[in-house]
Chains A and B, each alone.
Chain A
Amino acid sequence: MFESFLQGFELLLRWDIYFYISLGLVVGMFVGAMPGLTTVLAMAVLLPVSFNLEPMLGIPFLIGVYKGGIYGGSISAILVGIPGTGASIATTFDGPALTRQGKARKALEMALFSSTIADFCSDVATLFLIGLIAMIILKIGPPEVFSIIIFSLILIASVSSESGIRGAIAAFLGLGLGFIGTDAVTGASRMTFGIDALSAGIPLIPLIIGVFALPEVLEAVESKARTFISESVDLSKAGERLRWHEFRRSIRTILRSTAIGTGIGMVPGVGQVVAAFVGYSAAKRASKTPENFGKGELDGIAGPEAANNAVNGPTLVPLLTLGIPGDNVTAILLGAFVAHGIRPGPQIFLEQGPLVYALLLAIIIANVLFIFLGYVLLKPFAKAIQLKKAYLIPAILALSFVGTLSTGTASDLAVMVAIGLCAYILRKLRFDLAPLVIAFVLAEPIEYTLSQSMLYARGDIFEYLFLQRPIASVFLTAGVLWIGWMIFGPWIRRRIGQQRA
């Protein structure tokens, strides 16, 4: 193993690898920052480019696009409150608030540092623990995925600042929206109300834009046009950099979220979104000033950004060790491998050891490159926000429409506008829509893994989950205890206090 590791190191001693990684990072960052354009699609379009490059150049190039794209999604989440992907929804809680306070650049830099540091650590852990991670991944079947999602949802809900009832209503609305379309288990269409546009369900991008961007625009139109036009962000401060003492306060959060993300990265399919929310919730719980979260707290950027990027390392493990892609991104990477005649799987470390180690090392180095590139490239993005709101908001609206249309169909635009109007009304009724979106994203995995678990159980689902699947039962029991503590905890603490007195 050590020998192929060293040989892999030698493969990295050429400058063009770093050129292609950087190119990928920059392209990805711009694509990701455009609302409505997705990183996955950019990777699919650029896949043929990698066919014509040798594997040591083409695959790091695609990985660069991916890493850059995930970060690009956070840029639009911070600056204009539109998450580019599901992974950066949690970043919209504090990002736009920081931008309004004139701390856009600080927030962008915090996101950059926390994501690259977390990604770096998780990639290093993956490199050294790849065998162990591969073993754990095989232990996580449908019942475990189901239990972990439920446990995460309980954690997320327990630190939500909103009123419980409103949050629950929003979450159930999201679940309902998520069930529209095709029943993934039986293939039957359901809840489409005979509308053709809904037959495939509501796509994520129009939903995100509908929920996050359109109400923003409508509210701007509603507020008095005159005050609105003169209103603009505080130009003098938007470009101010992140200070060392501000960063130092978030180091604990970054490390915690890195651990959370690396752990959740082993859960197939749902990794990034769940990790980001759990990372945010954990940061808020551990914070000395939880009341600042949602109002512009730098720790609220570091929490989700570190967590969703720490997922990246472990998601590569099933691809490399089993040849199984866990999501669209790794499926495209598999295509890039396969087109060069490399079939990832149990033998890859014997057959292509040096190459695999070289690729893993290149991925780690990509993070370091990105810190420098991102640091330089952030300035124009932070500048863009200094446009007057009167120009910025129509520009966002136009971009959203073009973005949605470029990846979807005309009917997606109708869906987007309808969702936007409903979201506007819900916001007027003081509903927080983040639970709606996360429930929407998780509706299908929850339903699917539960149906699978019921088939495996061949009867009593509770007996199966709690007695036959130890990992699942640990998470479910912990979730139940957590709910119990949330309800009875304050009461118990008060009783103990009384007895002492």
Chain B
Amino acid sequence: MKSIRYLWILALAAVIAAPLPAVAEYPDRPITLIIPLGPGGSHDLHARGITGIISDILGQPMVVRLVPGAGGMKGTSEAAKAKPDGYTILFTHNAFDQLKPQTVDVSFNTLQDFKTIARINFAAPILVARADQPYKTYEEFIAYAKANPGKVNMGHSGVWGPAHIPASQLIKETGIKVNLIPHKGGGPALQALLAGEDQITWIFATQTRPHYLDGKVRVLAVAGDTPLENDKDFKDVPTMAALGYPGVAFTMDRIFLAPSGMNDADLKMLRDSFEQLMDHKSFKRFIGSIGEEVMFMRGEEYDKLRPGRYEAYTDLIKSVSGK
């Protein structure tokens, strides 16, 4: 008897509460931004800047929630399972989106379960060698590695991370044999290079620069097909595509995703807001001060690229595990 009365109260409450969200315009409460990475990385840093500025555009705060673990898959699956109401979105990169889910058991289907809101920029890994090594160019390095199979230690920042992927692509395309050494992140990988443990590695321009200027390292090539035109130090570094290896294509795209099933108007509103963000003065200043660039792509465009890249990674994973 008592429980029926409670039901009545609940039903009444539901009737009173239900129309409210329909009347209010999205977003009417804070949006949670899941980052499947730990504190202190470049995603965290980007997010701390972006969340402070985009709230001006959305009219609601955006709150960062770091969910690291399981190689990014913990946070990603939390976002995939979230209600597609636009109040939980994901800030991730393409390796977590298109590659990693293929290598472990996950409870979601990344291509079906996510829609892209925006790609804000990307960072291209650079092939960086110690200055005391005999090779000065990309071609010389390949020749040296072929003449000395298994002798070169090539460091990377962790399995299927932004250094391991171009390394695997390079090995697949050229057939060289190197000793791949995993490290816990880009910092330790760089430290191993500077200490002389590793002779060559893949790192981003921002981390490479001080050591390049210091004369400790040489830059041999940049992954992908886009030269670093706006970079005064690295604008002449050849791209892998220009060197004849378009398959070494990995660049780390920083992307915002939303769980599929959001209503179209709200998704469009989010996509528009991110496009507006790119022209926001404080955002431009922030991106400039952290040494990055804005390389915006709308979510609709990026979504067209995802299936093709997903398949290219399927082949890459096969070639790596096939050995």
Q: Give the interface of A toward B (CB within 8 A).
A: 40-41, 43-45, 47-48, 51, 137-139, 141-142, 181-182, 184-189, 196, 199-201, 203, 268-269, 318, 322-326, 328-332, 334-335, 338-341, 343-348, 409, 448, 451-452, 455-456, 458
Contacts and interface: CB of A to CB of B under 8 A. Distances in A.
B191 A187 contact: no
B291 A338 contact: yes
B297 to A, nearest CB: 24
Contact of A199 (B44, B74, B194, B209): B74
Given A322-B191, A338-B45, A188 B104 contact: yes
A185 B182 contact: yes
A335 B187 contact: no
Contacts of B74: 199-200
Interface string B25-37: 0000000000000
B197 A141 contact: yes
Contact of A181 (B44, B70, B192, B210): B70
Contact of A142 (B52, B158, B197): B197
A138 B191 CA distance: 7
Contact of A203 (B69, B71, B179, B213): B69
Interface centre among A188, A199, A318, A330 (most CB of B within 10 A): A199
A295 B150 CA distance: 56
Interface string B161-197: 0000000000000000001111110011011101111
Contact of A335 (B40, B64, B209): B40
A51 B96 CA distance: 28
B39 A323 contact: no
A458 B179 contact: yes
A203 to B, nearest CB: 7
A330 B190 CA distance: 15
Contact of A343 (B40, B191, B192, B291): B291
A347 B40 contact: no
Interface in B28-68: 38-41, 44-45, 48-49, 51-52, 64, 66-68
Contacts of B45: 47, 335, 338-339
B210 A409 contact: no
Given A184-B184, A332-B40, 6 more contacts: A322-B194, A331-B40, A331-B187, A335-B48, A339-B286, A456-B153
Nearest to A444: B184
B39 A41 contact: yes
A328 B289 contact: no
Contacts of B195: 138-139, 141
Interface string B70-82: 1101100110000
B194 A138 contact: yes
Contacts of B214: 345-347
A346 B211 contact: yes
B52 A48 contact: yes
A322 B286 contact: no
Contacts of B100: 187
A318 B207 CA distance: 13
Interface of B: 38-41, 44-45, 48-49, 51-52, 64, 66-71, 73-74, 77-78, 100, 103-105, 107, 150, 153, 158-160, 179-184, 187-188, 190-192, 194-197, 206-207, 209-211, 213-214, 216, 286, 289-291
B197 A189 contact: no
A408 B159 CA distance: 24
Contacts of B206: 338, 343
Contacts of A186: 159
Nearest to B207: A323
Nearest to A335: B45
Nearest to A47: B48
Nearest to A458: B179
B187 A269 contact: no
A346 B216 contact: yes
A331 B41 contact: yes
19 contacts: A44-B48, A45-B64, A51-B49, A51-B52, A141-B192, A182-B69, A185-B159, A187-B103, A187-B158, A200-B70, A201-B70, A322-B194, A328-B38, A331-B40, A332-B40, A338-B45, A338-B291, A343-B291, A448-B184
Nearest to A183: B159
B210 A347 contact: yes
Contact of B78 (A40, A181, A187, A409): A409
A402 B32 CA distance: 18
Contacts of A181: 69-70
A200 B69 contact: yes
Given A331-B39, A452-B182, A187 B104 contact: yes
Nearest to B182: A185
A268 B70 contact: no
A287 B300 CA distance: 69
Given A346-B210, A452-B183, A268 B44 contact: no
A456 B197 contact: yes
A279 B179 CA distance: 38
A186 B290 CA distance: 32
Contacts of A269: 184, 188
B182 A189 contact: no
A182 B183 CA distance: 15
Contacts of A189: 70, 104-105
Contact of A182 (B70, B153, B188, B289): B70
A332 B39 contact: yes
A51 B286 contact: yes
Contacts of B192: 141-142
Contacts of A451: 182
Given A189-B70, A347-B210, A268 B191 contact: yes
B49 A339 contact: yes
Contacts of B160: 187
A18 to B, nearest CB: 25
A326 B48 contact: no
A185 B179 CA distance: 14
B62 to A, nearest CB: 12
A455 B289 contact: no
A67 to B, nearest CB: 17
Nearest to B180: A455
Contacts of A45: 64
Contacts of B77: 196
A479 B182 CA distance: 27
